[in-house]
Amino acid sequence: MAAIVLGVGASHSTLMNTHWDQVVHTERAEAFRDGLAAARARIAEARPDVVVVVGSNHFRGFWLDLIPSFTLGVGEVVAAGDGGTPQGPQRTDPEFARALAAALVDAGTEVAISARLTIDHGQTHAIQWLLDGIDVPVVPLVVNVFAAPLPRMSRCVELGANLAAAVAGMPDDKRVVVVSSGGLSHQLPWPSDWTAPEGEDEEFLVEAWLNGRGQWSRYDKRRREIIVGARPTIFSEFDEEFLADLERGDLRSYAELTTEEIEARAGNGGQELRTWMVMASALGFAPGQALAYSPMPEWLTGMGAAVIERGESTP
């Protein structure tokens, strides 16, 4: 039978690609980059046949006209190429992805499917840094972390458990790695309520979220200026506690956090921790290993990287 053999969690930020020359905290930046390299080495050692990449979408493949809680790419996958990340068609395994989607629905997690999915740096940053030189197909699993109402953390835990069971039920012997991309703490200049934007910048962002389908690049220049101009807000104490709990195998308790509690403790960008919860749950909440943590105000984010080996209780 197929099996999940490794889980990896890693923060993403396109500013790592586009603004490296403006980094002040050089040692921190290099430490995080080294952590990504260590995670990549662990993935290579795991010899995966397929990698499920759990990440968000920053309004380049999904728009306010339709945003499911969970979406699985089951056919063509095209990378947007934003912020210096990979661009164009990605190598995929549609047969595995479709079987995975069917098994998840049978288990009670009704994932949406996309036969032509556009992914952005919410997943391609991980592909760029963690799968560099590893020739393996990817199956994107997109979690809505931006447009309220967001899926409950407990539903993300359920998704991860059902993902593990679905993989274990596959008839072949594929080795599967689950990568989560996003977080840790950060605060983006998004409107807190997309139905009631405040000020010209928020009004522009909501317009882009509503009307960007097929023309996201038209909005990208100003959108990026808004983001780059944001005041860094990082909750290092929360990040360090989260990674310590990951090492102890204690992340299950985070399933009780509400959207409001996450934002208060980790900023609105902390909502991306849902992707880590999917991954950790798929690995049976086994104790893991933090590979790096670097609070990077230049990248607006607390940057963390960690791995979790397959736990004894994982199907």
Cα torsion 296, 239, 226, 264 to 10°: value is -150
- 47-62 pLDDT, tens digit per residue, is 999 999 999 999 888 9
Can you tell me the mean pLDDT for 91-118? 96
For residue 304, how many C-alpha atoms fall within 13 Å in the half-sphere facing its CB?
A: 31
The CATH class of the 3-188+230-309 domain is alpha beta
Can you tell me the mean pLDDT for 240-262? 97
- 282-302 pLDDT, tens digit per residue, is 999 999 999 999 999 999 999
Point out the least confidently predicted range of 57-61, 142-146, 276-280, 287-291.
Answer: 57-61
Q: Is the pLDDT of residue 172 over 90?
A: no
Can you tell me the mean pLDDT for 37-49? 98
Q: Is the Cβ–Cβ distance between 150 and 271 less than 8 Å?
A: yes
Measured CA to CA, the distance from residue 95 to residue 283 in angstroms comes to 23
Can you tell me the mean pLDDT for 160-184? 95
The average confidence (pLDDT) of the chain is 94
Percent of the chain at pLDDT exceeding 70: 98
Measured CA to CA, the distance from residue 167 to residue 163 in angstroms comes to 6
Q: How confident is the model at residue 313 (pLDDT cuts 50, 70, 90)?
A: very low
Cα torsion 215, 218, 221, 224 to 10°: value is -30
Q: Is the pLDDT of residue 315 over 90?
A: no
- 183-211 pLDDT, tens digit per residue, is 999 998 888 788 888 899 999 999 999 99
Identify the sign of the CA torsion 282, 284, 288, 294.
Answer: positive
pLDDT at residue number 196: 86
Can you tell me the mean pLDDT for 240-254? 97
Q: Is the pLDDT of residue 111 over 50?
A: yes
CB neighbours (10 Å) of residue 245?
Answer: 18
Q: Active-site residue numbers?
A: 121, 186
Nearest to 273 by CA among 121, 178, 143, 161: 143
Measured CA to CA, the distance from residue 298 to residue 129 in angstroms comes to 19
pLDDT at residue number 212: 87
Can you tell me the mean pLDDT for 5-27? 95
